[in-house]
Amino acid sequence: MNGMLRAELDRWAAAERTATFWWRDDDAVTAGPALDRLFAAAGAVPLALAVVPMQAEAALAAALAATGTQVAVLQHGHRHTNHAAPGTKKAEFTDERDLDAMTAEVQVGRGRLFEVFGARSIPIFVPPWNRCPAALTARLADIGHRVLSAYGPRPARHAAPGLLQVNTHADPIDWRGTRRFLGLGRLAEALAGHLAARRQGTADAVEPTGLLTHHLVHEPEDMAAIGGLVAEIAAHAAARWLAAVDLLEAA
């Protein structure tokens, strides 16, 4: 394992603290080789799969039922359509859009996921491109969501009354450049960096450190390498990979 990450985990062990992690993978819509590679990489580590509701296919539900990996389904927006104004950052939900229309989309999407995936669908909302206007965030709990998950250290434990925030913190793809894997070293450093910030009190100490992957983008060998790192972390005495359902309570 990367030396920086091992040293950081050792500090958590020395302090008799548990370094909590979770693994979110975005943009699932159907089954296929990339999804199979994600499951193989995860093995016994639980996965939180952010699924695009209106594109989700029955084949995806069948693949989840067939895998030995523990997989929870999170709501990834509605159609994953970019509604941002030209020249601004991509987003499905924006301050410029009608709030009632966006609310209806989240409701419809949540219903669809429950239809397709049943109890595997849990009340965690993952806005596409990790952007959600505050006005919509304020309505998510009324729709039945209990957690908002975006990117970066959370500014507060709750995103809105009745709505926890549990983000991801390490996204190992160079989205603005090559759109390829940044490498295991960079990934390990990002994980270690968030852990250190939690330990030192510059980030919320109890927010689990979130790994974010995109199974449709990663090369096969890179997904396997990520799985190897995840397994190494899991084998460390201080580390624990949480299931998505744990986030509803423990975060």
Tokens for 83, please give them.
């509604």
Taking the least distance from each CB to Zn ion, the nearer of 27 and 204 is 27
* 3-state SS, residue 20: strand
Encoded one letter per residue, x for contact with Zn ion by CB under 5 A and - for no contact, window 64-93 reads ------------------------------
Taking the least distance from each CB to Zn ion, the nearer of 29 and 160 is 29
User: Shortest Cβ distance from residue 212 to Zn ion (Å)?
Assistant: 10
Taking the least distance from each CB to Zn ion, the nearer of 26 and 204 is 26
**What is the widest separation between alpha-carbon atoms in the chain?**
51
Using CB under 5 A, count the residues that bind Zn ion. 3
* Cα-based angle 134, 120, 130 (whole degrees, multiple of 5): 25
Binders of Zn ion in range 1-40 (CB under 5 A): 26-27
Binders of Zn ion in range 101-140 (CB under 5 A): 128
CB 72 within 8 A of CB 245: yes
By CB under 5 A, tell whether 210 contacts Zn ion: no
User: Shortest Cβ distance from residue 128 to Zn ion (Å)?
Assistant: 5
* 3-state SS, residue 15: coil
Residues 6+ apart with CB under 8 A from 248: 122, 123, 124, 146, 147, 164
Tokens for 236, please give them.
């460390």
CB 106 within 8 A of CB 140: yes
Q: Determine the length of the chain.
A: 251
Identify the residue whose tokens are 């993952």. 126
User: Shortest Cβ distance from residue 93 to Zn ion (Å)?
Assistant: 12
User: Shortest Cβ distance from residue 40 to Zn ion (Å)?
Assistant: 22
User: Shortest Cβ distance from residue 220 to Zn ion (Å)?
Assistant: 20
Where along the sequence are the contacts to Zn ion (CB under 5 A)? 26-27, 128
